[in-house]
Chain A
Amino acid sequence: MSELIIKNLQVSVDTEAGSKEILKGVDLTIRSGETHAIMGPNGSGKSTLAYSIAGHPKYTITGGTVTLDGADVLEMSVDERAKAGLFLAMQYPVEVPGVSVSNFLRTAVTAIRGEAPKLRTWVGEVKEAMASLNMDTAFSERNVNEGFSGGEKKRHEILQMELLKPKIAILDETDSGLDVDALRIVSEGVNRVKSNSDLGVMLITHYTRILRYIKPDFVHVFANGKIVEEGGPELADKLEEQGYAAYITA
């Protein structure tokens, strides 16, 4: 049983006009097995929340705490956070020219598990995970995210999640840029990992579409840098009908 506790998190970024506050006190707890949908309009700070937890250097934490099973996440380096069991599926995965997917996956898994996986079982493990995400085996010889279509990038993110076996995963707009078939495959991947591993999920999205495939236990409405309303799955239905207008204050 794992628990990610975010308390009164405040985050700013440096802009040309000076420091700008993005997160204005976020409180959220995610436990193993739970799926939390974070929904909100563009520019509300959803991605900042995701990247701050992962430790992106662009963001400055100005207040609050983040702990994973009692350990101070904000004190950890980016790779330590991943080793502690956090995973961020990115909206825009980064291209790494000249580094093959297979080399990348093996290096990451070695770092997370603390030892190199046994070659024979590893090859099978990767093949199986790729097959269930409808990925061709030739994929592993390509360079990380280089020339990948939108759908391939997202599938590659979920593939990593499946192999790295995090405790808590943050999916940042994983549904963006996906057609219906790709959305279904990616969602099935998330659900499979959840059923196999008791994964806790923070699902960041603008649209309710993905929630037809990945059922949230909790829905949080995010606006202007904080959570402004919380509820069960029914809240997503309300957003589907009414949009975010009610939460955007002038």
Chain B
Amino acid sequence: MSLLTTNYLTPTGREEPWRFTPLKRISGLHEIEKNVPGDITFAVSQNLVTGVTFKNVAASELPPSYTSTDLISNRVRSSVGEVSSLNIDKDIELAQPIILQRNCSGSPQFSRLVIEIGTNSKATVIIENTGKAIIGEEIEIVVSAGAKLNFVTLQEWEPSAIHLGQHHALIAKDGEFNSYVITVGGSVVRLNPTVDFTGQGSSADLSGLYFATSGQHLEHRIHVDHNIANAKSRVNYKGALSGQDARTVWIGDVFIHKGADGTDTYELNRNLLLTDGARADSVPNLEIETGEIVGAGHASTTGRFDDEQLFYLQSRGIPADIARRLVIRGFFAEIVTKLKNEAIEERIMDRIDAELAKVGE
């Protein structure tokens, strides 16, 4: 597997995929000369029901099922000896989410995880990232025909953490993939949620929420590849920023290839700047090679906090800090309520409240 990596050079920051990323702050995860150990970083704390297995296997037993052009995923592939594998059999419906917890050392490491959900099964998988970490990872998600997977990845890292990752979903005929990328912690987080459709009638719904405070760099680079007819995708990422040098980057690439007739896609990114000194980049990009589609569109807005909303709430007796909290919670409500998991919803909102409390200081 190591052959791939030799095709890459260490990025300098001038390359398109790296032009926003603060390379000096990612502990050399991108330097091809630098050896980074491939470790198993996931643990499951619950008892898994019959039909669900989580195990570590030799990398050679679970080779990648797609070609990645991402530097980090290729570096991960070349260095891991073992891969974590979460497998959900066909024809089962899980009532409870499967929770994978990350267990990182705080020194640079690479990790690879493969999630496979069998034909016509339904499940929710939640990845909880907490603590300190310097990690490059690849998560490969295979959604079989007729299966439905809700995939949640929570970045609640400590302030020092560095997290670079490629999360790639392959969605088969009539498969449904709903992802929620929630990034509130870490020093530098750079995630690439990417989607390939492998069968018609498949759909991907990618939601995201990020909140960057002073000095944080949170970057999400979405790529949805419509290379097959009659697939549907929706992207909706919302972010808030506060404090000096709070930085977010959102890239939304959607490609509709020739022959992908009947494609239906819409992507949306909204950013809310709460203070001066913060910067949000938002770059939607839609390329269409066929006119025979149902719909394709994108929208991106970056704006300041609406003082009229604040005035309206305050004029009803609501103090400014509570009013701000209401407005921000309202801004993110669309994303978190979709999760339909009250415990996580409350946790995320509490975290956002805590970040907001810092804004007032």
Question: Which among A55, A83, A93, A94 has the greatest number of chain B C-beta atoms within 10 A?
Answer: A94
Alpha-carbon distance A77/B319, docked complex (angstroms): 9
Question: Is there contact, CB below 8 Å, between A96 and B311?
Answer: no
B317 CB → nearest A CB, Å: 4
The majority secondary structure among interface residues of chain B is helix
Contact string against A for B residues 297-315, beta-carbon threshold 8 Å, 1 for contact and 0 otherwise: 0000000001111011111
User: Does residue B291 face the partner (Cβ distance < 8 Å to A)?
Assistant: no
A94 to B333, CA, bound (A): 18
Quick one: closest B residue to A163, CB to CB? B316
Contact present for A111 and B316 (CB under 8 Å): yes
A82 partner, pick from B306, B316, B331, B333, beta carbons under 8 A: B316
Docked Cα-Cα span, A90 to B312, in Å, equals 9
Distance in angstroms between the alpha carbons of A99 and B309 in the assembled complex: 11
Q: Does B320 contact A (CB under 8 A)?
A: yes
Q: Are B315 and A99 in contact (CB under 8 A)?
A: no
Q: Is the CB of B320 within 8 A of A77?
A: yes
In the complex, the chain B residue whose C-beta lies closest to that of A51 is: B311
Asked if A98 contacts B330 (CB within 8 A), the reply is: yes
Which of A79, A93, A95 lies in contact with B314, CB distance below 8 A?
A79
A88 at the interface (CB under 8 A from B): yes
Interface-central residue, A54, A78, A82, A160, by most chain B CB under 10 Å: A78
Q: Is A143's CB within 8 Å of the partner chain B?
A: yes
Q: Is B221 an interface residue (CB 8 A)?
A: no
- Given A55-B315, A93-B312, A94-B311, verify A79-B320 contact (CB < 8 Å): yes
A208 close to chain B: CB less than 8 A = no
Which chain B positions have C-beta within 8 A of A108? 313, 316-318
Interface contact B307-A111, CB-CB below 8 Å: no
Number of interface residues of B (CB under 8 A): 24
- Which of A81, A87, A98, A112 counts the most B-chain CB atoms under 10 A from its CB? A98
Nearest Cβ on chain B to A156's Cβ, whole angstroms = 11
Find the B residue at minimum CB distance from A79: B314
Residue of B nearest to A86 (CB): B315
Given A57-B311, A96-B327, A99-B326, A164-B333 contact (CB < 8 Å): no
Interfacial residues of chain B within 242-277, with CB under 8 A of chain A in the complex? none
Contact with A104, one of B307, B319, B326, B332 (Cβ below 8 angstroms):
B326
* Contact partners of A209 in chain B: CB under 8 A: none
Whether the Cβ atoms of B309 and A57 lie closer than 8 Å is: no
Produce 1/0 per residue, B326-353, CB < 8 A to A: 1101111110000000000000000000
Question: Which residues of A are found within 8 Å of B307, using beta-carbon distances?
Answer: 57
B357 within 8 A of A: no
A20 within 8 A of B: no
Interface status of A107 (Cβ within 8 A of chain B): yes
A231 at the binding interface (Cβ < 8 Å):
no
Q: How many A-B residue pairs have CB under 8 A?
A: 81
Decide if B322 is an interface residue (CB 8 Å cutoff).
yes
Given known pairs A96-B327, A98-B329, A99-B326, the reply for A111 and B319 (CB within 8 Å) is yes
**In the assembled complex, how far is the CB of residue B211 from the closest CB belonging to chain A, in whole angstroms?**
15
Contact pick for B315, options A88, A103, A104, A107, CB 8 Å: A88
User: CB-defined interface of A70-88 with B at 8 Å, one 1/0 digit per residue?
Assistant: 0000000111011100011
Min CB–CB distance A47 → chain B (angstroms): 14
A83, B333: Cα distance in complex, Å: 28
Nearest to B337 among chain A residues (CB) is A98
What separation, in Å, do the CA atoms of A90 and B309 have in the docked complex? 12
Indicate whether A82 sits within 8 Å of B314 (C-beta atoms), given known contacts A57-B307, A96-B309, A98-B332. yes
- Minimum CB–CB distance from A50 to chain B (whole Å) comes to 11
Report A199-231 residues with CB < 8 Å from chain B CB.
Answer: none
Complex: how many Å from CA A54 to CA B332? 29
Chain A nearest CB, measured from B14 CB (Å): 39
CA gap between A143 and B329 in the complex, in Å? 12
A157 to chain B minimum Cβ distance, whole angstroms, is: 10
Kindly state whether residue A43 has any CB partner on chain B within 8 Å: no
Asked whether A82 and B311 contact (CB < 8 A) given A98-B332, A143-B330, the answer is no
Can you list the 4 inter-chain pairs with the closest CB atoms, starting with the nearest? A98-B330, A98-B333, A82-B317, A78-B314
Extra contacts besides A87-B315, A98-B329, A111-B322 (9): CB < 8 Å: A55-B315, A57-B307, A79-B319, A82-B314, A97-B331, A98-B331, A108-B313, A108-B318, A111-B319
For this complex, 6 residue pairs linking A to B, each with C-beta atoms less than 8 Å apart, are: A94-B312, A96-B309, A97-B330, A97-B333, A98-B331, A107-B322
Chain B residues near A (Cβ < 8 Å)? 306-309, 311-320, 322-323, 326-327, 329-334
